Structure 1
Amino acid sequence: MSNKFTEINARRAAIAQQIIDLQEEDRLWDTAYKKLYFRRHLLRDTDKIEPRTAKKFAALGLAADEIETQKQRKQSGATLNQIKNAIALVIEAFPENTLRSYLSRFRSEGRLEYLQSGSKWALPRPRKDKKNGCN
């Protein structure tokens, strides 16, 4: 009979971990929503809103926010280190390789621009056509 209690405790621990994981995902989506709401041109109609993409969109929103912060400080964009530090304040244990991969993908998708001259990241101008954008 004690074996059943072990199973019950294991199930309760699994549920508790699922709750923690869902709370973390919700926190990431909340960050993405707040940071991308007025930057809708960075989203695409084809974007998949799934648990595994929460960190990607939170990182995009945080990167865009840091780029705009640096722009307000009369900088042409934000460096990798500035973006990394801004993301680290919100997302713990975010590997630099993952960040580089995300930034490269965002650049190839036209969500961000890389300025070779100053080694800085910048936001593209919003497109007038809604073909690739998200409303």
Structure 2
Amino acid sequence: MAKVNERRINYNEDDYETLKRLMVEEPFRSLNLIDIFAISLIYGKKAGIRTPLDKKKTGRIRQTTIENSNVHYLMMAVAVEETGSFEVLAKRNDYFKICEEYAKTGLSLLEEDFIENPKGLLDDLELEALKYFDKFIKQ
């Protein structure tokens, strides 16, 4: 049973279907939901576009899963960079929402890039993650 205050990463149903389609293809087959969320988040952040979720959305990734992964730190870094303030970290719903919206954009872009360049996508993703790390986290 979920905790009363537990927050989940939400997806719209159509986005979740996209995610499931990607998860059966290489290079995504060995990844789980939290990994693909992180990749989508980085893609959306790089594009600089936040896309609001529909009112009808479903929680797919539990807060405990997020907090037990390094993705939690990525989310916090994105939210602080977005708002320019550490205060956003005190408002879990606010920083989750920021990340969900970037990930929604990123998932669409990820799907487009995968269709166009399925073999080189993994190398591109690794390079993008390293660039983001160097720019925002390593400092």
TM-score after normalising by structure 1: 0.27
Q: Name the larger-Rg structure.
A: 1
TM-score after normalising by structure 2: 0.26
Which structure is richer in relative contact order (CA contacts within 8 A, separation 6 or more)?
A: 2
